[in-house]
Amino acid sequence: MNSDIRDTVVRRVDEALASSRAIAYCDESPDNEHPEITWQIFGLMDTNEIAVVARCGELRVGICRESGLVYPGMADRIFGIDVSDQQLAMQLCSELWDAASERLTDEAIRLRSRKP
């Protein structure tokens, strides 16, 4: 997955949030090793996808994949993430880290060096 695709996922999540067609399943959670990096999981209603977005400063990258669940529809999963979608999200976190960890950690180091 190249950076254009990851940036496209972030734009898709932002657009879905703006039109109330996304579910934010959690607040931004800090990374265990690099607290400057945060992670968030979303459900995209129109495409039945789970999306994961990592943020560090102004850098945001994302990845998504279609949920294996057909029923209930994503719009009906507003009260919490399904176990299988949570497993998918954890897999996506791992894949996103493999693809973007260098960019994210470089940004974390840059942010640390700017603190007084």
Tell me the pLDDT tens digit for each residue of 41-54.
999 999 999 999 99
Looking up tokens 């607290």 gives 35
pLDDT band, residue 73 (cuts 50/70/90): confident
Q: Tell me which of 63 and 115 has the higher pLDDT.
A: 63
Q: Give the mean model confidence (pLDDT) for residues 11-21.
A: 96
Backbone Cα Rg of the chain: 14
The pLDDT of residue 113 is 85
The residue behind tokens 């400057």 is: 36
How much is the average pLDDT of 30-57? 95
**Alpha carbons 34 and 80: distance in angstroms, whole number:** 26
Paired sense of beta strands 59-66 and 22-24, if any: unpaired
Rounded Cα distance between 92 and 5, Å, is: 14
pLDDT for the residue 1: 42
Q: Whole-prediction pTM value?
A: 0.89
| CA atoms 99, 97, 17, 86: torsion sign | positive
Task: Enumerate the β-bridge partners of residue 44.
Answer: 22, 49
Model confidence at 7, pLDDT cuts 50, 70, 90, reads confident
Q: 72: cis peptide before it, omega within 30°?
A: yes
**Residue ranges covered by each domain of the chain:** 3-114
